[in-house]
Every structure is written in structure tokens, then in C-alpha cells.
Structure 1
Amino acid sequence: MNIPERIAALRQKMKECEFDAYIIPSSDPHQNEYLPAPYKTREFMSGFTGSAGTLLVTADKAGLWTDGRYFLQAEYQLKGSGITLFKMEEPGIPTLNAFLKSEFKAGAKIGMDGKVVSLQNYEAMQKELEGMELVTGRDLVGDVWKDRPEPVLSEAFILGNEYAGKSASQKIAEVRAGLAEKGADATLIGSCEDVCYLFNIRGNDIPCNPVLISYALIDKTRAVLFINEKQINGQVRSFLEKEGVTVAPYEAAFSEAEKLKGTVYIDSARTNVYVRSKIKARIVQGLNISSVMKASKNETELRNFDIAMEKDGAAMVKILKWIEDNVSAYAAGTANNPGISEYDVSTKLLEFRAEGKDFIEASFETISAYGPNAAIVHYAPAEQGSALLEPKGFLLLDSGGHYINGTTDITRTVPLGPLTAQEKESYTLVLQSHIRLALAQFKAGAAGLSLDTIARLPLWERGMDYNHGTGHGVGYLLPVHEGPQSISKRPINEALKLGMVTSNEPGYYAAGKYGIRIENLIVTVPAEKTRSGEFYRFKTITLCPIDTGPLVPGILSQKEIDWLNAYHEEVRTRLSPYLDEEHRLFLEEKTKKL
């Protein structure tokens, strides 16, 4: 079936259920950002492959709501589908709930699959759509999707204390202390990355996300892992038992939820409506205690992050040289050189990363975008038909890896040849924005919104901006996007705390022309204590040259140039031992002092 046929089949199911509308979020029972194949329901029904978005279908209309990262991609992928794109947070664009209120009156029946809708979103709908009936018991997409994939059941593996820095039993004790502070008797955790963090285990149930599809229950005496028991071998089971963890079947999480008494603490953003319906005990809501714990990396984790950055930086130097060599050879008309594509770059980079010790997998699908494609913020090249690199303009390369030592996320914008004056100025301003945030000193307790402003100012002063956040948290051998912190325009009141690893990735995108983004990972560290209080700053931990060729003289301040020179000196010193002579010479050239 094509997309219009799938929508038509869904409408027939809606008619049978007497639903006026049906909501399909980008979600699974654990509210993972990147979804297991069986839960890519919104993608199946719409054809839009971005990681964020919600599809709404009524008897005669269909709309997709997504954010600024995906506007261009969604416009392209929704062509001919009959689905209207609603650009979230753009002037005059209604939210999904506002659209429903404009379309329907009290008594309308709105259907959804409660197993993939978070309690937080459901409660917001209840409030905004008062008088409408929200029906959460039907998975209509499952009725339409006849060849739905089976879930992946990967084998769990142990993350030793030499990497985790803290035992599972210690973490469980901290959660219990947190429950006592909140006056709660138990917590049921649906966030897969929190479960894996707490019990010091990892898996590969979702590509690029080293997690296991699971639940955890912690109360005053028990710590239970609910998982398909085929995924737990004898070694892992023995390890968990020594840490005080009991293994139970995945489905047992729901019957155990029904038995809970006293007060149960849950994270409404990571608990689905179905699970909530099973809990009969009193409920207190808040951010998972474990989410706060894992956001601030301990000393062992941070030391390992540094090792991962060295391995990853070496791979990045190799890909930058490989790109330059192949584009130069193609430009010179060298025999037997048909040129390289965006896709070739992504596969070659994966090869270079795999050469590094203890590399596990990519941390997300590589964004290798040439020329106009780079203006599509989350563009990923296809094997067939991806653009050939020409000796001009920019290649935007956003990628990352999972190592046993940690997770990386890095973006470089690579000049391939002559650039326009506009491209050079945009590149210089994006780098200036990046350095401004890297140099920022801020008072303890400051949240991401104020820091986001620091990064955007150089662009704002020229009437420029970008439609994505400036920074997201990064997990330790866990999903590359991790909360609770965020550096963005969104009013998230979560302070940047010591030990948090966050991205620094301002950008600029000229639709149909080019895209620029420069990204390093930064960790929050102490700066100074004064009469005004305690102040923090950022330490940049990513190691890779930033190309200085496109820089327009006179824009960067001397302080910003000094930062870049010092950064390049550290990059050269720490990466050289990982490289052969040829690549060391290339690195020296790319890190020359300005």
C-alpha cells in the first residue's frame, strides 16, 4: 500500500470505532527518541522518516506536526501523500490540540494507542480538549500494518565499574534515598536508558542506541529488571543477582504495577498511559531520580569520555584527509577516480571509527550533506542517488560513535573548494557563536535558555538564526540525546550542573544553497567563587580540527582567536599519537596557529 491507501485503510478502522480523529505520535511504550522498527508507526502511516513528529488523521484531513529541524525534509517526503505539514512554533500555526479544538466540539471521540502515549502528553490533552472523549485502547495502525517487523532481542552485556565508575548496588541505594526524600515507597521506571544506567548493563535493541527494552521497579527492598529473559545470559544474571537485582519477564511489569501499594513515584514523560492505568496506588510525579543521577557524569565516566574523544578525533582526522584527497583528485581529473558521494563519506567514516579500539556502533545515522542538502538539518544520504561532492562549497558532516569509553557527537563543516562571500561570512559567524558559548562563564543555577542567547547573539546581530537547539545532553554509552538539560529557546528550567556533558552546535541554513553547523561536546566544570556566588564554565572535550580556511578576517575577536589556537594546540598534541606520519602532517597543517 502507498501512503494514501494506508490513510484510507486507517479511516475505515476509525469509522468502525466511531473515532472522529486518530493521533499517531513518534513514540513507543518507553518514549524512546529513536524507535524500534515495530513502533515506527508514524513513519509507516506518513512516509516522513524524521525522528520527531505527530500525525493526526480525521475523516477528511490529515496533518503532520514537526519541528524546525525537519521542515524541509517533511515538505519533500509528504509530497503526494495528502498530508498537510504544520510547522511547529511558526507564527500562525496551531498546535495539534488547538487544531482539534477548532475542528471538533465536545463529545468528539479522539483515538490513540495508550501504550505509546506518554502520561504527560495525555494529561495535557485532557486539559486542553476538555469535553472530548480520549480513547486509548486501540492500536489501529497495528490493524493496518500487516507485515509489521518483529522486535530485536539483543543480548545484554555488562558495563564494568572501570567504565561506569559506580556499582549498580550503589545507584540503587541512591534511588532509594531519593524516594525517601520524596516520601515515596517505590518507583516504576519506563525509560530504557535509565534502566540500563541503573543496572550497569547495555544492549542493542534499537540501532545506534545501546539499550534494552525493559522496565525497572525499585522499592525499599526490591530492585527488579523486567525484560525478555532470553536477553539475559548466565553471566549477566549472576552479575545482577550480586548487585541485588532480580530478573523477571517483561510482561510481569504490568501485573507488579497493579500490586504496588503506598506511594509510587513515576516520570510522566516516560510512563505511558497503559502503565499508569495499572497502578492503583497513590502516585507522585516528577523527573526520574535516575535521570538526574546519570546526567552528571562521575570522574571515571569523564576520564573515559576523554579517551573516547581521542579515538573519535583520530577517525575524524582520517575522514577529513580522505575527503580532501578524493575531492582534489576528482577536480584534477585523476584517472580511475569517479568522485565520492555523500553516502561514500558516511560509510568510510564508519570504517575509520571501527578501527578504533572498543568501538561499538554509530551513535546516530550520519548526516553527510553537500551543498543545498546541508540546509536540511537532519538530512541522511541514501546509498543510491546521494550527491557527488564537487570541488566547491561546503560538506556538512554530523556524526558520532559509541565506544565502551563513552558516546561522541561531532559536526564539522568542510570546505571543498571556492566559497562565496556569503558562505564565508556565515561560516565565520557560526564559529564565533560556537566559541562564545565555549568561553561562557555563568552563575551556578543558570539554565539553558540564557546560555542559548549567548550563542545566538553573533548571528542575531546580522539578522540570522537557526531552527534547532544549541545544545543537548549526551549519554555515556547511552542515547546521544539525553536530558534533562538543554541549551535552547525552549524555557526548560533545568540548571547546567557540574559533570553534565552537553553539545555546543550553533548553525545557519540557507534553504536551497548551503548549511553550516560546528559542534563539539562540552562538560560543565567549576570556574570561580566570588562574593556573588559560585560560577561555572565549559570545558570542550571533543578533539578535531575546525577548518580556518573559510574565516573572514576581522570578525573574530582576539580572545576568540586565542581560544581557537589553544584548542587546536590541544587537538594536535592529543591526537598525534593515534596517527601515522601522513595524517600527523595533515593534522599539523589543519591546526596551524592563526
Structure 2
Amino acid sequence: MSPRPLISPAGSAERLAALRAELDRRGLDGFLVPRADEHQGEYVSARAERLLWLTGFSGSAGLAVVLGDAGAIFVDGRYTLQAEREVDTTLFEPRHLVEEPAGPWIAERLKGGKLGYDPWLHTEDQVRRLNAALTRSGSELVAAEPNPLDAVWPDQPDPPLTPAVAQELRFAGETSSDKRAKLAGELRRQGVRAAVLTMPDSIAWLLNVRGSDVPRTPLSLSFALVDDEGQVDWFVDARKVTADLPAHLGNGVRIRQPQELAQALDEQRDRKVLADPTGTAQWVFTRLEAAGAEVVRGDDPCLLPKARKNPTELAGARAAHRRDGTALVTFLAWLAETAPAGGVTELAASDHLYCLRAEGERFRDLSFDTISGSGPQAAIMHYRVTPETDRELQSGELYLVDSGAQYLDGTTDVTRTIAIGPPSPEMRRRYTLVLKGHVAIATARFPEGTTGSQLDSLARRPLWDEGLDFDHGTGHGVGSYLSVHEGPQRISKVPNRVALKPGMIISNEPGYYKPGAYGIRIENLVAVQPAEPRNNDERKMLDLETLTLAPFDRTLIDVTLLSEGEISWIDAYHSRVRRELLPTLDGQVKTWLEAATAPLADR
């Protein structure tokens, strides 16, 4: 399964001392270590796991601040408990990234000092915000190249060199040349001559290529420069380019070495060049401005068309979710039979689910490391089981499994919470509150122009009514055999200016977490689609098609808390799961699914 290797925090003191010595040698009073690479993606290669190497923190988002006499690690609400478990908190004080951003914390402690940062690992927006906070305290943000941490990491892995391969048209649904022509038209509309692409998933989508340079996401790490005629300079290590790829790309794509990017940017003098300040490294902006280019700051032009899946991609997503549903239902039936008797551990369950998925047609990998948590460990939102933390699923506890897969025709992500033995009344009540929020999103009907932020409170209202909440977003975008977390759309408290549009795939995953006791999350993927018109509609309306196929745990549902409409939706969903998956099953699994999807009135 190739999970990310854990690094023990036992060596953090020595690594931190080595880094501080290097900073002192360079005349720096501090340094920033983000969980990021040059492409600002969620998944990074082993070479870019600098935060993990320094602190032992294995989450997918975070920032360490190293000062001469202080250190801190900033994480969001998904990772607060995980950071406390993985990091030596005597070296790095855990801080909540949202409640207390890094800038003010640094400014208070670094008055008049020089804070180093790697300009390849921070976006222009991030640097701007940090600069604003530091300037007020008389401190200075200093670009540090080469990276000081790399200088003291003796066995830092080499950059990845995996093959870049073509994504077939039968899965992509649109040729690369057609995509490039449309993008060029958009650049001309904006009056710019070229766009810099640094996000590998944008490049993968535009060129219809896939790779395996990072875990769980089929990407080839690279950069691209696209001009207003649709011509592309693709900066990728030539050793990754397979023999048939040039013919797939055609004459409109020129393959160049990554180190040629600097020269290509230097050649943009007096040209308008588009770059995304929220996703592109500061280094790119500095280079363009030094070359005399007129930098136009705007969204990556691939984001929105990539997010709006074409009919082929939507059909692929439905097919992938049917296969994924077969594997997941087979797993849930196995779990129902074996877990109550004891002996099933978090790792054993996760591995069993992986093996069932791997048997499926077009399976390529997991879409992320499976979150397999029981009892109190399920309360850690992004818990990652290891041999050291592995525990047996025990009667009277809840088991949360958040998992997904990469198929050639689609990416899946699904969470189910299962009662092992009889659940407590509190567990049932809070599970049902989460389920009510899930149904509220699934059944939402909203006018064109609505953002995910406007829908977010629908998922939280049942919990809010009882003084409860969850500290993560309600939904994230999902790619097509690409990133399991894809922008620009999301459902979240955090304001989002991107309206939900037909073709977008997004998750629906409210939850509740009681520290030290249990965790609950219910997640399906949904696709935005035009709603069936009604006679009294004054606007064009949208609604959501649920893609995921797997039953909810009926033993956790308190029917007395549900409205007739909610019961009707759950029964209809279970009927659809039964109808679509029964033909793919046999024996005991078929019998289990028939019982698991029976009408709620039959309980």
C-alpha cells in the first residue's frame, strides 16, 4: 500500500539544533518550514517532507516556525490532536492555525529580527500576509536560497522519477488540443500573452497525462508555460517521458528540462503573464518582475474547467463509484460478521478494504491513506493508524473508516461510521444529528450562483441546535483520476467566492468528534447538476446527484429524530444502493446488503 513513512520525533532535538546552527551561520533569526513543495500541492514527494523530517508531524497541512529560542507548529482543526501525539511539544508548541495565525505569533517574538523562508515553498499571497505582520514589528522576511533545512538533511531523498503516461481519451472525454485551444481563447479574452502553470494537477488535466511522483495522486511533478495561441512549454524531466508520450502530446507541446523554466520566465519581458498568487510560488513572481514582465494576478485558468467534469468524466465517476461500492459493501458485510467476535484491528480492517478495492477493474491506487479509527482514535479527524497505535475494534465503540481509491475513470472518497456491538443512546443521537446534516446537503436545491459557503450551515444546523459542531469543512472538490482534494469549489464556513456549477464533484461530509471517546463522519460524493424545473421557479436551479453507493449503519439511526422527508430520502437512497449493487454481489454479502438497506420502518 506504500504509506508515507513515519519519522519518530525522537531525533527532532538534534535536527532542530542542526537547523538553528545553519540559520546562525547565514545570519537568520528564524525560518519557516511548511508542509509544501514547489507546486503547493497537498501530496508531496519524500524529498519535500521537510516538516515531517524536522518535527515528526505526518499530517497533510501544517507549518513549523523555528526561532532562536522558540518553536511552534501551526495546524488546523483536523490535526490538533494528531500534532500533540506526534510532535515533541517541548520543542514545537502546537498552535491552531485558524484561531491564531503564524504571523502575529512570530511578530511578537521576533522584534527586529530576520525570518528566512524558501521562496519556492510559499505562495505570493502567503508571503504578502507574513510581510504585513512582520513589518509592523520591525522584522524582516528574507528569501533563503538554497533551503537551509536541505543543507542539514544528510539523507534527503532524490526527486522522484516516475513515468509520465497518457490518459486515454475514453477516460478524459476531451483532447488536450481542444483544452489548450479553449484555454488560449480565455487568455486572449483576458488580454494576456501567457500563463504560468505550477500545479501538477492542472498540467495533468490540460495535457491528459498522469504520473506517480507523489503518493496517492497520479501526478508528474512539472511546470508549464501556456501562450495565447495554445502552445505549451512543458518543463519536465525528460527521463519521465515515455516513448509514446510525444505523439500523444502533438506538435503544440514542447518538452523542456525543469531548469529551463528560469530562462523561459526571463524571456517574458514586456509581456502580460498570468500567475495565480494563491497557488504559485513567490519565486515565480520575483523572477517575472525582475525580467520586466507585466504580471497579471489571477486564478489558474485550468481550475474551473478542470472542476466542471464533462459527460465522459461524470459517466466514469458513476462507474467507478459502483465498483467502489461493491468493494465497500463487501468490506462492511465482513466487518459486521467478524468485528463483534473480536480480533479485528484498525490495520487489519484497513488492509482488508484495500485488498477488496485492488481486485476491482481499473483500480490504480488508494486516493489517500485510509483513516481507520476505532473508539477514541476515531475522534482524531485525520487519524493515521500505525503498528504502534493499532488497536482492536471493541464492542460498544464506534469505528470510523474514511477511504477512497484511484480508478482510471474516477476518484472516490467515502466515510462510514459503524457501531461495533450495541451503541449508546448518545452515540445514536449524535450520529443521527450528523446524518440529518448530511441529508440536508444531499437534498439541497439552490439557485445558480450559490457558493458552497452559503450551503455549509445546512449541514451544521442539527448539531448547532444542540450546542455541537465540527472543526472541518463540510465538502471539498474531487478530481477525475486526479486529486481527491480539488479546488476551487468547497462547502465550508470559510468564505468562498466560487459558485457551484454543473459538473463539479464535491464531498458531503459533516461529522462530530468527542475527544477521547468517539468520532462520527458520514461522507458521500455528489455531483452538481441542473435541477428539474418547477412551475413556480423564478431562477435556474441546481441540485446534487449522490454518486457514492454504500448503506448507512441503521443501528445508529434514531428514527424518532428524523422528519418524514429525511426518512423518505434515506429509504430511497438505500433502495438505489440495493438496486445498483445487488447484481454485483452474491452469497452472504448479498444477504447482508438486503438487510442493511431495508426501510427504516422495518427496524
> Could you tell me which residue of structure 1 aligns to residue 371 of structure 2?
367
Aligned-residue offset at 1:533: 1.5
Which residue number in structure 2 is paired with residue 186 of structure 1?
194
In the alignment, is the contact (CA less than 8 A) between 1:23 and 1:54 conserved in 2? yes
Of 543, 547, 550, the residue aligned with 2:553 is 547
d(CA) in 1 for partners of 2:188, 2:13: 53
Please list, as runs of the form range in 1=range in 2, the aligned pairs for 1:191-590 lying within 5 A after superposition. Answer: 191-221=199-229, 222-241=231-250, 244-261=252-269, 262-279=271-288, 280=291, 281-330=293-342, 339-527=343-531, 528=533, 532-590=538-596
Calculate the aligned-residue CA RMSD, in Å: 1.4
Mapped to 2, the partners of 1:58 and 1:518 lie a distance apart of 41
Q: Between Structure 1 and Structure 2, how many residues are aligned?
A: 581
Cα distance in 1 between the residues matched to 2:261 and 2:544: 40
User: 8 Å contact 2:59–2:79 — kept in the other structure?
Assistant: yes
Q: Give, as a single letter, the amino acid of the residue that structure 2 aligns with 1:153.
A: L
Tell me by how many angstroms 1:108 deviates: 2.2
Q: Which amino acid aligns with 1:549?
A: T
Q: What residue is the counterpart of 2:134 in the other structure?
A: 129
Paired with 2:234 and 2:584, the residues of 1 have a C-alpha distance of 40
Task: Note the C-alpha offset of 1:224.
Answer: 1.7
Q: Distance in 2 between matches of 1:144 and 1:4?
A: 13
Aligned position for 1:591: 597
What is the CA–CA distance in structure 2 between the aligned matches of 1:321 and 1:391, rounded to whole Å?
Answer: 17
Partner Cα separation in structure 2 for residue 385 and residue 489 of structure 1: 32
Distance in 1 (CA, whole Å) between partners of 2:134 and 2:144 is: 18
Name the structure 1 match of 2:153: 145
Q: Distance in 2 between matches of 1:53 and 1:419?
A: 35
Deviations, residues 76-126 of structure 1 (Å, cap 9, x unaligned): 112454210111333xxx321111222233x42110111111122112222
Report the secondary structure of 1:284's partner residue: strand
TM-score, with structure 1 as normaliser = 0.96
Shift of 1:580: 2.0
Q: Give, in angstroms, the shift of residue 133 of structure 1.
A: 2.3
Task: Show the counterpart of 1:334.
Answer: none
Tell me, in whole angstroms, the C-alpha distance in 1 between the residues paired with 2:59 and 2:90.
Answer: 16
Q: Aligned equivalents of 2:277 and 2:266: distance in 1?
A: 17
Q: Which amino acid aligns with 2:225?
A: L
Whether the 8 Å CA contact 1:205–1:211 is kept in 2: the answer is yes
In 2, are the aligned partners of 1:184 and 1:265 still within 8 Å (CA)? Answer: yes
User: 1:526 Cα deviation (Å)?
Assistant: 1.1
1:336 is aligned to none
Instruction: Report deviation, 1:275.
Output: 2.2
Q: Which residue of 1 aligns with 2:125?
A: 120
SS of 2:512's equivalent?
strand
Equivalent position of 1:171 in the other structure = 179
- How many angstroms apart in 2 are the aligned matches of 1:385 and 1:179? 51
**Whole-Å separation in 2 of the counterparts to 1:152 and 1:102:** 39
Cα shift readout 1:530-585 (whole Å, capped 9, x = no counterpart): 55311111111111111111111310111001100110111111112221232211
State how far apart, in whole Å, the 1-side matches of 2:133 and 2:490 are: 26
Gaps of at least 5 residues in structure 2 are: 1-9
Deviations 1:319-378 (A, max 9, x none): 111112212343xxxxxxxx1110011111110001110100000000000000000000
Q: Distance in 1 between matches of 2:33 and 2:12?
A: 14
Query: For 1:218 and 1:82, how far apart are their aligned partners in 2?
Result: 44
Contact 2:213 2:221 in 1 (8 A): yes
Work out the CA distance in 1 between the residues paired with 2:243 and 2:21.
48
Moved more, 510-519 or 154-163: 154-163
Tell me the SS of whatever aligns to 1:430: helix
- Structure 1's unaligned 5+ residue stretches are 331-338
Matched residue type, 2:297? Q
Q: Does structure 1 residue 108 correspond to structure 2 residue 117?
A: no
- Residues in 1 aligned to 2:587 and 2:311: alpha-carbon distance in whole angstroms: 33
Q: Is the CA contact (8 Å cut-off) linking 1:3 and 1:81 kept in structure 2? A: no
Q: Which residue of 2 aligns with 1:58?
A: 67
Once the two structures are TM-superposed, the CA of residue 420 in structure 1 deviates from its matched residue by 1.1
Alpha-carbon distance in structure 1 between the residues aligned to 2:144 and 2:16 = 20
Hey, what's the Cα distance between the residues in 2 that align with 1:380 and 1:77?
11
2:340 touches 2:394 (CA, 8 Å); kept in 1?
A: no
**Matched residue, 2:4:** none
TM-score normalised by length of structure 2: 0.94
How far apart are 1:217 and its partner, in Å? 1.1
**AA partner of residue 43 (structure 2):** Y
- Residue 419 of structure 1 and its aligned partner are, at CA, apart by 1.2
| Residues 46, 81 of structure 1: 8 Å contact kept | no
Residue identity opposite 2:186 in structure 1: G
Q: What's the counterpart of residue 333 of structure 1?
A: none
Equivalent residue of 1:195, what SS? helix
Deviation string 1:290-316 (CA, Å, 9 cap, x unpaired) is 011101111110001000000000000
Whether the aligned pair in 2 keeps the contact of 1:154 and 1:205 (CA below 8 Å) is: yes
Letter in 2 for 1:269: T
Code of the aligned partner of 1:419: P
Does the 8 Å contact 1:449/1:492 carry over to 2? yes
Distance apart, 1:276 and its partner CA: 2.1
